[in-house]
Structure 1
């Protein structure tokens, strides 16, 4: 795996807003929310249909169709991830030069098919995590940063231990300072999630190892 950043480099908490990778990761996470939710809808339905057809003569067709859908989605998703996060990845897909029987055999038994399914599970989980992190982080950030413009008798923050009233300029400025910290934490979390996503993609969705193995086993 190669990326646009030096190996092992990680943006610090304070430098996250200045790291270009942070904003690529933000875009990636914003896309991860609808994509992950879409996967949560589509693949359970596809799996249920395959399970329902498992007692009929269409069982092999259903299994192959579901796996083919998954492999195609992994290929497209990993390609998008590589372009957005700057990670070099070559997604695997069964060779289309094979006959139908060999193609199906490779699709069902190849390790890359099943690591691809793990990758899709990761993407579903990432969509939920991204939704929670971004919505919570940015809503808190903007709310706290706006305190100096809206402080007064009716502005307050409810938290587990009680209520904090922002009714003075000093308290409003303190709230804005907390907002800055929350914003930095959110950007840092986005940067970190982007880096983790790049590693996971290169580990689970890169098919170059399979291509190299096929090349060495060919006569």
Structure 2
């Protein structure tokens, strides 16, 4: 019983130390960069994939449509490869690139897998990771929006709270949906902060919120990195 209690206490202490230590870990800031890149990359992926697919389908009645679709699909695997690199370097989660790229070489120029161009196209179309790359690239747009909202909201709220002692007596700042309109003072919801002690309390709450926000943003980044690795792992064992 005593041993179990000691182990439970040790685990609780380690978990608390990990939560409180989030601002002091380098991985936290790599995660933040990972989240910050998600929206512009996701938007670019989405526009490129949708435009290429629409153009290719529209031109299928000509000889141009199929090559456009193949180029779009190939570009999608390159985008997924970039995502695998980001998940590994910034997210700290080992992710493999799509099979078509693992099987290609760059020595002396790009050498595609298989025996000739048609065989390489067959490899591209039959590899599971090619199609999970499409899923990854499309879902990156949604993740990018979530990341953007989470980052902007976290920075805006915590910065405003931490800066309370500097701006409470000289700025019009309202936090929360319950603040009264027209109040020419620093307020948090219905609470008007007009003294330094009150502003210090708000700043202290802001520091606590910074720690909580960083942990939530770390979790969000790790979820995306692991999701990326899982999608691209589907046929890794087959080619190893």
Provide TM-score, normalisation by structure 1. Answer: 0.82
In structure 1, the partner of 2:219 is: 192
Paired residue secondary structure (1:97): coil
Aligned counterpart, 2:28: 22
What runs of 5+ residues in structure 1 fail to find an aligned partner?
1-8, 213-219
Task: Map Cα deviations across residues 22-56 of structure 1 (whole Å, 9 max, x no partner).
Answer: 12101211222321222232222112212211333
Q: Deviations over 1:126-162 (max 9, x none)?
A: 2111111111101111111111011127534153223
Q: 1:133 corresponds to which residue?
A: 150
**Cα–Cα, structure 1 residues 211 and 146, in superposed 2: closer, same or farther, change >3 Å?**
same
Deviations 1:64-95 (A, max 9, x none): 11111111111122123212222222212423
RMSD (Å) for aligned C-alpha atoms: 2.3
Q: Is the 8 A contact 2:93 2:225 kept in 1?
A: yes
Contact kept? 1:155, 1:166, Cα under 8 Å: no
Q: Name 1:144's counterpart in structure 2.
A: 161
Q: Which residue of 1 aligns with 2:78?
A: 72
Task: Report the TM-score, using the length of structure 2 for normalisation.
Answer: 0.76
Contact 1:155/1:167, CA 8 A, preserved across alignment: no
Aligned with 2:34: secondary structure?
Answer: helix
1:4 maps to which residue? none
Consecutive unaligned residues of structure 2, counting only runs of 5 or more, are 1-13, 104-111, 181-186
- Taking the aligned partners of 2:237 and 2:31, their CA distance within structure 1 comes to 26
Distance 2:177 2:91 in 1: 38
Deviation beyond 4 Å, 4+ runs, structure 1: 9-12
The equivalent of 1:208 in structure 2 is 236
**Partners of 1:189 and 1:55 in 2: CA distance:** 49
40, 53, 63: which one aligns with 1:57: 63
Counterparts of 1:123 and 1:143, CA distance in 2: 30
Matched pairs, number: 204
1:215 is aligned to none
